A and B are shown apart, each in its own frame.
Chain A
Amino acid sequence: LSSSQIDIGLQVLDRQLLDRNGRRCGKVDDVAIEGGAGGAPEVVAILVGPGYWPQRAGLIGKLAGWIGGGRRVRVDWSDVRKIDSAVELKREATELGLGRGDDRLRPYVDKIPGAGR
C-alpha cells in the first residue's frame, strides 16, 4: 500500500472521529459505498451511530443499537479532512449532528458544582 492509498477496512472503519476542534465525536460505524460491480466503487459517506450497529453484528448488534438509542448520522466523505490515527473532520461536531448525546447531557452535569465549565 503506498502512502497515497488508504485501506478502508483497516484505516477508516471503526476508527475514532475527531471534529475540527479535536473533539471526539463518534466512531466510523460503517461506510456507504456507491457503484461497485462493473464500475469503480466509491466511498461516499461515513455512517455514525448505534442505528448502524445491526448491520455490523446481527441480533446482538440490534440489541446494542436499540439500547444505544438507534440514532443514525451520515457524514459526507467530502467533510473528511485527514485520515491519520483517527479520522479528522473539516467541520464542528454540532454542525454535522455528531456528539449530540454529550451535548444533551451537559446542562444536567453542569448543575453539579465543580463540573468545570
Chain B
Amino acid sequence: VSKVLGLALGILAAIGGFVDIGDLVFNVSAGATFGYQLMWVIPIGVVGIIVYSEMCGRVAAVSGKAVFDAIRERLGFAPALGALVASEVVNLMTLAAEIGGVAIALQLLSGLPYRWLIVLAIVGLAVIIWTTSFDWLERIFGYGGLCLLVFAVAAVKLAPDWGKVGNGLLPHLPQNNKLLYAYFVIGLLGAALTPYEVYFYSSGGIEDRWSPKDIGLNRANAIIGYGLGGFLSFALMISGAALFLGHGISPEHLGTIALGAENPLGRIGLLFALVGILFAVGGASIDTVFSGAYNLAQFCGWEWGRYRQPHGAPRFTLTWLVLLVLALAIVSTGVDPVMLTEYAVIFSVVALPLTYIPILLVANDRTYMGRYRNRRLANGFGLLYLVVIMVVALTAVPLMLLTNVGQD
C-alpha cells in the first residue's frame, strides 16, 4: 500500500510542479490572442517532455548520470562549455522571472510593496532550501501547485464553446496573423520543453536515490505526472480564451491571469489561483536555482546534491546561494517578470538541441544502460522530437524579432 501511496504522491507533486511562469504566460496569452486555435500545440509539447524526461530519468536510475554529465561526456569539452554558458544564462533569466512571479503573487495576496517582497522571496527561498530535505521540497511545492486546478473548474464554469475547443485540437493555420501564430507555437513548445525541467528531473532522480528498481516509478511519474500537468495548460488556455479573447486584453500581468479564476468563481477562486501561482512559481524557482548549480557542478565534476547536505557539497551550495543573489540583482532593476519570461523561454529554445541530443545518445549506450537502453518506441519518439526541436530552435529568434516579442 505504501508503495502505491508513494507513487500517487509523487505523481501529484509532478502535476503541481509542471506549470511554471512560462506556461502561465504563454498559455493564457495564446488563449487571449488566438482563442482555442493553439490547443493542438499543448499535447505535442507534453508528449515531448514525457519522452525526454522518461529517458533522462531512466539514465539517472541505471547509471547515476545526470543530464550535464551526459552532455560533457558526449559532446566533448568545448561544445559542453558552450552549452554550460548558454544554460546558465537562460537558467538565471528564468530564475529571476520566477522569483519576480513569487513577489507579484505575494503582493497580490498581502498588498505589501513589491520591492520588499522581492527580498522576502529570495531570503524565504534560501531559508526553505537550507532547512528542507529534497523530497519535502518536491512535495510542498508540488502539492501547493495543485491549487492551480481551480483553473480547470473555472474553465468548465466559463462554459466555453466545446465544439471550438475540439476544433482547436486539430493542427491548422489561422487566416491572418500567421507570424504571431507561429511565435506562439514556438513559445508554447518552449515553455513545455524548457531544458531546466530535464536537468532538474534527472538530477532529482539521483537526489531521490533512484536505482533500476525505480524504472516503473520514473515512467509513471513522467507519463501521468506531466500528462495531467498538460491538462492544467488546457485549462489555462481555455480560461484565457473564454475571458479575454476579443476584449483586447493581453495578460501582461500575473494578476490578470488570476482573473481567469476570479471571474467565474469569485474571491475563493482568486485565492486558490494566487496560492497556486505562488507555489508553482516558487517551486520553479527552486528547480531553476538547483538546475544552475547541478549543471556547473556536473560540468566540473564537483560533489553535488541537496542529499549531500551543504557540508558534503560546499561548492554546489555556494553556487545556488550566488545564483539567488544574482537573481535578486536582476529582479531589483525593476525588469518586468512577464517580459523576462518571454525572453527566457525563447532563448531556452535555442539551447534545446544541445540538451536533448546527448540524452538520446546516452539512453542508447549499451555499455552501461544494458537492457535498460532505449527501445524502438523511445527512439522513434526521441528522433521525431529531435526534428521538432531543431525546427523550433532555428526559428525561435527570427520569429521573436519579426513579431517584436509577440507585441505585433
Q: A interface vs B, CB < 8 Å?
A: 11, 13-17, 23-27, 29, 48, 50, 53, 56-58, 60-61, 64, 68, 84-86, 99, 101-102, 105-106, 108-110, 112, 114-117
Contacts and interface: CB of A to CB of B under 8 A. Distances in A.
B314 interface: yes
B311 interface: yes
A15 B367 CA distance: 14
23 contacts: A14-B77, A15-B73, A16-B301, A27-B72, A50-B300, A57-B78, A60-B82, A68-B300, A85-B368, A86-B64, A101-B314, A102-B303, A105-B318, A109-B310, A109-B314, A109-B318, A110-B310, A114-B131, A115-B310, A116-B309, A116-B310, A117-B309, A117-B311
B317 A109 contact: yes
A101 B73 contact: no
Name the residue in B63, B64, B314 with the highest tally of chain A Cβ atoms < 10 Å from its Cβ: B314
A61 B310 contact: no
A105 B301 contact: no
- The majority secondary structure among interface residues of chain A is mixed
A105 B78 contact: no
Given A26-B300, A85-B64, A102-B303, A60 B78 contact: yes
- The majority secondary structure among interface residues of chain B is helix
Interface residues of B, number: 32
Contacts of A11: 367
A49 B115 CA distance: 41
Given A15-B73, A86-B64, A105-B318, A115 B301 contact: no
B81 interface: yes
Contacts of A27: 72, 299-301
Nearest to B304: A24
